[in-house]
């Protein structure tokens, strides 16, 4: 009995000792390596929605990694100009960037497909195509020669068609229109006789105020109210035919990413997915109240694009997309992948999402 009693006492002491040593660093242990990254963006620092997404991403990564990976965020112009984010990350000046793929169409014509396609996939469908329809694999294939790994990291949902200083009553009213509109939407406006220009968000208000441009699209009520476009434009048009599901991106320098241990790589991936969904949630909530303020407080005229204009833009969109797809086999594979996925989504959503919307209105 004495032997059993002593044995039990030893077991209890060993158990207690095990708990103590697990919370105390082992003498001589090497501390885990920490990493310091720089993140450059195409957005003004801390701009609502778009600019806060990379800030939240960085905070989540630091918290989940217990401080092992710290990311300092630089807004547009603080470290590099807004439209030089791609090169900065590709060359390793910064380890990571946040922006939109269609800004890089001059380097990669096919990049426009990974932001949004006119009359194409909405946010829900874009996320599904990227993560379960082969889109992300195609995206990474396109960026691989530039030493970059892309991740989806935000979506604003269907946007507005934009702010105009003239009424749009027919396709003829687009002729000669100087409009800030990037990506495939810009190609369509140019095909319609307008002049599409790509100007960073921080310069849009002044460009509209001084008459450098006649119209601009940006995002939707939440961001447009913050920029004060209602002070420099008279008409606010919908729907956002050009960007029905605009995806924002995180681009990561390949060497920097591969230099992380596997657990930190996973943390970066999960934080990007969280940022992607969080942005859509925020815009879905905040666009509603912002639109009410624009209309009821600031007297903004919200107008629907005429049906014949929508039909005309849709016809031109098909032409632009097909011509771009025919440039090379890789771009054709991307265009065909989106087209096939859209056809499936359209068929199912006709009896699900659209059917529900119609039923809800009765």
Distance CA 283, CA 156 (A): 6
Instruction: Give residue 17's pLDDT.
Output: 41
Q: Which two tokens stand for residue 293?
A: 């303020």
Cα angle 158-201-78, degrees, rounded to a multiple of 5: 130
Instruction: Give residue 139's pLDDT.
Output: 98
The tally of CA atoms less than 13 A away on the side-chain side of residue 112 is 25
Q: Which two tokens stand for residue 263?
A: 């657990």
DSSP secondary structure code for residue 236 in this structure: E
Distance CA 281, CA 334 (A): 27
Average pLDDT, the chain: 92
| Domains defined along the chain, listed by start | 35-155+245-284 (3.40.190.170), 162-244+299-360 (3.40.190.10)
Instruction: Give residue 28's pLDDT.
Output: 55
Cβ atoms of residues 305 and 168 within 8 Å: yes
pLDDT at 57 over 50: yes
Q: Is 75 exposed, middle or buried (0-12, 13-18, 19+ CB in 10 A)?
A: buried
- Tens digit of each residue's pLDDT (9 = 90 or more) over 90-125: 999 999 999 999 999 999 999 999 999 999 999 999
Question: What is the widest separation between alpha-carbon atoms in the chain?
Answer: 102
Per-residue pLDDT band at 327 (split at 50, 70, 90): very high
Percent of the chain surpassing pLDDT 70: 91
pLDDT at 84 over 50: yes
pLDDT at 203 over 50: yes
| Mean pLDDT of the region 339-358 | 95
Greater pLDDT, 28 or 355: 355
Q: Which two tokens stand for residue 38?
A: 């720089």
pLDDT at 12 over 50: no
| Mean pLDDT of the region 182-194 | 97
| Mean pLDDT of the region 164-180 | 97
């Amino acid at each position: 009995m004495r032997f059993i009693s002593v044995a039990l006492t030893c077991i209890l002491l060993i158990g207690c000792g095990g708990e103590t040593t697990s919370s105390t660093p082992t003498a001589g242990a090497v501390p885990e390596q920490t990493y310091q990254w720089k993140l450059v963006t195409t957005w003004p620092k801390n701009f609502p929605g778009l600019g806060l997404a990379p800030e939240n991403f960085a905070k989540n990564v630091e918290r989940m990694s217990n401080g092992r990976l710290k990311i300092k965020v630089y807004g547009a112009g603080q470290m590099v100009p807004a439209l030089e984010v791609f090169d900065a990350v590709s060359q390793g000046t910064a380890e990571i960037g946040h922006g939109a793929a269609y800004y890089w169409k001059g380097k990669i014509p096919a990049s426009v497909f990974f932001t949004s396609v006119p009359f194409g996939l909405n946010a829900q469908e874009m996320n599904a195509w990227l993560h379960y329809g082969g889109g992300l694999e195609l995206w990474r294939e396109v960026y691989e020669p530039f030493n970059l790994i892309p991740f989806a990291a935000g979506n604003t949902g269907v946007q507005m068609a934009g702010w105009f200083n003239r009424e749009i009553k027919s396709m003829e009213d687009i002729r000669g229109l100087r409009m800030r509109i990037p990506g495939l939407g810009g190609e369509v406006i140019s095909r319609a006789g307008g002049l599409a220009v790509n100007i960073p968000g921080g310069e849009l208000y002044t460009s509209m105020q001084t008459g450098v441009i006649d119209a601009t699209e940006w995002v939707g009520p939440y961001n447009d109210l913050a920029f004060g476009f209602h002070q420099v434009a008279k008409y606010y048009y919908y729907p956002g035919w050009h960007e029905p599901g605009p995806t924002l991106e995180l681009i990561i320098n390949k060497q920097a990413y591969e230099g992380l241990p596997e657990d930190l790589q996973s943390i970066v991936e999960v934080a990007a997915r969280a940022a992607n969904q969080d942005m859509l949630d925020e815009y879905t909530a905040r666009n509603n109240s912002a639109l009410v303020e624009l209309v009821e407080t600031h007297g903004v005229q919200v107008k629907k694009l005429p049906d014949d204009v929508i039909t005309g833009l849709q016809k031109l969109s098909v032409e632009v997309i097909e011509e771009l797809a025919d440039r090379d086999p890789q771009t054709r594979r991307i265009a065909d992948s989106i087209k096939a996925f859209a056809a499936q989504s359209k068929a199912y959503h006709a009896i699900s999402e659209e059917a529900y919307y119609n039923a809800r209105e009765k």
